A and B are shown apart, each in its own frame.
Chain A
Amino acid sequence: MDQESPNRRAGIPGESDGDLDRCLSFEIRGPWGHFRRVEGNIVKQTYRIIPRTTVAGLIAAMLGIERDGYYDLFGPDVSAIAIEPVEELRTVNMPMNTLSTAASDLTSLNPRGKISIKLPNPTKLRQQHNYEVLVDPAYRIDVALADNEWYEQFRETLAAGKSHYVPSLGLSEYLAEIDYLGEFDIESGPSSGTIGVDSAVPDAMDDVVLDSETRCQIEESPAFMTSDGGGRTTTEYTTYTYNPDAEPLQVRDVQTSRVDDRTVVFV
């Protein structure tokens, strides 16, 4: 693999068992979305860009892979994902009355047995939480997988308009629609000078060429996970720079890729 490999950013070694030189493209959209920010407190704020880990979970759900069963498939060396917002990113507040799940508010059953189950007590007063939710979010996702078998299966799933579990945007009630856009080669894009990038730009916040006419925002979200004894742990974060108006951003000297006549940056 030559040095200008489009996958260099994703840290993909040339010797991986499948090539990351082609990707599947689809659009996901829905009336609502919520990707809870990990650093949030009582106000449940949302990421604007669907996090890479959420994309991985979404694809796993479409393929019918169980929770905690897909982190290796989307590891840093064997997958590449580019995310492009295709509609303006807008939020509203969606306050909710919820039952507390704090330990002191749970009803504990059979605490001395081998199995103890704690349930929220529905007779307790509700807590009021403000959820910041995305309105009509829509993203184009380009995804490459080194695992040929899953890649082929995902292509068939998309082409048939199917999804094993029903797709959603962050929370199971925020139902989503998927549009398959096709399979595309990943070609080397420009890497020097000022480049207009269509996707959200990962880890390049210092390289953005600011322009008074163009809005530009930054957020850091989970990128990779691994399973551990109790479930899962985030192993790496990505800082995305993006234009909330779903327009391209100008960046300088960033290694880009070309997919379907668009310029994107993979993670």
Chain B
Amino acid sequence: MSESTQTVENRSEIVFLYDAVDANPNGNPLSGSNRPRIDPQTQQAIVTDVRLKRYLRDQLDDDGHGVYIRNVQDEGEQYTRAELLEDRLKAVDPDDYDLDDDEEAAQFRDDVFGEYLEESADVRYFGATMSVDTDNAYAKHLPDHFTGPVQFSPGKSIHAVNENEEYDSLTSVIATQEGKEQGGFDLDDHRIQYGLIRFHGLVDEHGAADTNLTRADVERLDTLCWRAIKNQTISRSKVGQEPRLYCRVEYGEESYHLGGLDKDLTLDDEASKDHDELRNIRDLTLDIDDFVDRISNASNQIERIRVVASDVLKVSHGTDSGGPDLLYDALRTAVGADRVDVVDIYDEYPETLPQNTGE
């Protein structure tokens, strides 16, 4: 087996920050006009894991990877995931397997779901729901769902946000459909003025075997998250969002991770504008002291760190302040320069595309 197809053996913890300027990073479908989700007590904007995963799935789809959960109604000539699985089911006869034998049971499982998983990158990452209807002899060898080994908590803005009320009347003159001249109504467009959204993710090395998540899949996240926010925030309410910091800490020690690493990145309140005056990334400075300290304390358990930050992100560490290089250098000091790897997104991502395209 090549390096790239091996199932993941290391746990990873991910911190991902992106910001939203005059955007609605995640509307609440049950509120009037799809208002931004905001914690009523802290006024922090909330972005669900589902929203982030939609960006990632859309980017996987654009890149030519198979994606099971797609929005498209018209599949065209493309083989659907369901058809793919259906073909496998017809080809597999459970009676050909000695299911009391662990290896054969694993082979049975792989023959039913193997190709489906191989063709559905999003299921390898995030899992899928299904129900398996069979007699008990086979049911206990087949999963009734796939739990995703890659999990992101719903994210929140690092600070309180303001809703931008000026957009309220924007849409009254915009036609809702081609050929219709009348404007829509109840299309008020609510956005937040600014929000720096903080996501926390984990890659579970023990859950990885269930969905055949590979090492290459995890490494793909290092460029995928960034490119997904760059490329998939294209609808009217989603423009104005930019990735600001991605950091994946890969642990060497089995079953170990620090946990809650996202919470160690906070606003440096002295070097940032007040929360209600934040309008863009240049108005704030990120305090990385606790983040670097915790990573430094766990340096024995850390195999490597893959990190990239936006060139305009300002950070403060101790008495120093500066750009991304200050963060990179602090991490190098914490765990050793050979274990810190700055991701070059656009140099690296072509390597993560499906092998059979671009030829």
Which residue numbers of A lie inside 8 Å of B, CB to CB? 30-32, 64, 90, 92-97, 99, 101, 106-107, 109-110, 113-123, 128, 130, 135, 157, 160-166, 168, 172-178, 229
B156 partner, pick from A31, A109, A173, beta carbons under 8 A: A31
Contact (A101, B29) CB under 8 Å given A96-B48, A109-B89: no
Which residue numbers of B lie inside 8 Å of A, CB to CB? 11, 28-31, 37, 39-41, 46, 48-50, 68-73, 75, 81-82, 85-86, 89-90, 92-95, 112, 127-136, 138, 142, 147-148, 151-154, 156, 200-202, 204, 206-207, 253-257, 259-260
Q: Contact check, B73 vs A123: say whether CB atoms are below 8 A apart.
A: yes
Residue of B nearest to A231 (CB): B144
Residues of B within 8 A of A97 (CB): 29, 50
Residues of B within 8 A of A30 (CB): 153, 260
Residue of B nearest to A176 (CB): B259
Residues of A within 8 A of B70 (CB): 122-123
- Please measure, in the bound complex, the distance between the C-alpha atom of A161 and the C-alpha atom of B11, giving whole angstroms: 14
Query: Shortest beta-carbon distance, A8 to chain B, in Å?
Result: 36
A115 partner, pick from B92, B152, B257, beta carbons under 8 A: B92
A229 partner, pick from B11, B81, B128, B136, beta carbons under 8 A: B136
Q: Taking A130-B30, A160-B255, A166-B207 as given, write out 16 further A-B residue pairs in contact, using a Cβ cutoff of 8 Å, ordered by the A residue number.
A: A90-B41, A94-B46, A97-B29, A109-B89, A113-B89, A116-B134, A117-B85, A117-B130, A166-B202, A173-B152, A173-B153, A173-B154, A175-B151, A175-B200, A175-B201, A177-B260
- Please measure, in the bound complex, the distance between the C-alpha atom of A176 and the C-alpha atom of B49, giving whole angstroms: 15
Q: Contact check, B39 vs A135: say whether CB atoms are below 8 A apart.
A: yes
Residue of B nearest to A178 (CB): B259
Query: Shortest beta-carbon distance, A11 to chain B, in Å?
Result: 32
Query: Shortest beta-carbon distance, A245 to chain B, in Å?
Result: 14
Contact (A115, B153) CB under 8 Å given A130-B30, A166-B202: no
Q: Contact check, A118 vs B28: say whether CB atoms are below 8 A apart.
A: no
- Please measure, in the bound complex, the distance between the C-alpha atom of A178 and the C-alpha atom of B257, giving whole angstroms: 10
B133 partner, pick from A32, A93, A117, beta carbons under 8 A: A117
Query: Shortest beta-carbon distance, B357 to chain A, in Å?
Result: 23
13 contacts between A and B (CB under 8 A): A31-B156, A64-B206, A94-B154, A109-B86, A114-B134, A115-B142, A128-B29, A162-B253, A162-B255, A162-B256, A173-B153, A175-B201, A175-B202
Residues of A within 8 A of B133 (CB): 115-118
- Please measure, in the bound complex, the distance between the C-alpha atom of A106 and the C-alpha atom of B133, giving whole angstroms: 12
Contact (A117, B131) CB under 8 Å given A90-B41, A173-B152: yes
- Please measure, in the bound complex, the distance between the C-alpha atom of A162 and the C-alpha atom of B206, giving whole angstroms: 13
Residue of B nearest to A130 (CB): B30
- Please measure, in the bound complex, the distance between the C-alpha atom of A165 and the C-alpha atom of B257, giving whole angstroms: 11
Q: Contact check, A115 vs B134: say whether CB atoms are below 8 A apart.
A: yes
- Please measure, in the bound complex, the distance between the C-alpha atom of A175 and the C-alpha atom of B128, giving whole angstroms: 18
Residues of A within 8 A of B85 (CB): 109, 117, 119
Most B Cβ at <10 Å: residue of A115, A116, A163, A229:
A115
User: What 10 pairs across the A-B complex have the smallest Cβ distances?
Assistant: A177-B259, A110-B89, A162-B255, A95-B30, A109-B86, A116-B133, A177-B260, A173-B49, A115-B134, A118-B131
- Please measure, in the bound complex, the distance between the C-alpha atom of A120 and the C-alpha atom of B82, giving whole angstroms: 10
Residues of B within 8 A of A95 (CB): 28-31
Residues of A within 8 A of B255 (CB): 64, 157, 160, 162-164
Residue of A nearest to B134 (CB): A115
Residue of B nearest to A169 (CB): B153
A174 partner, pick from B28, B31, B68, B153, beta carbons under 8 A: B153
- Please measure, in the bound complex, the distance between the C-alpha atom of A173 and the C-alpha atom of B92, giving whole angstroms: 33
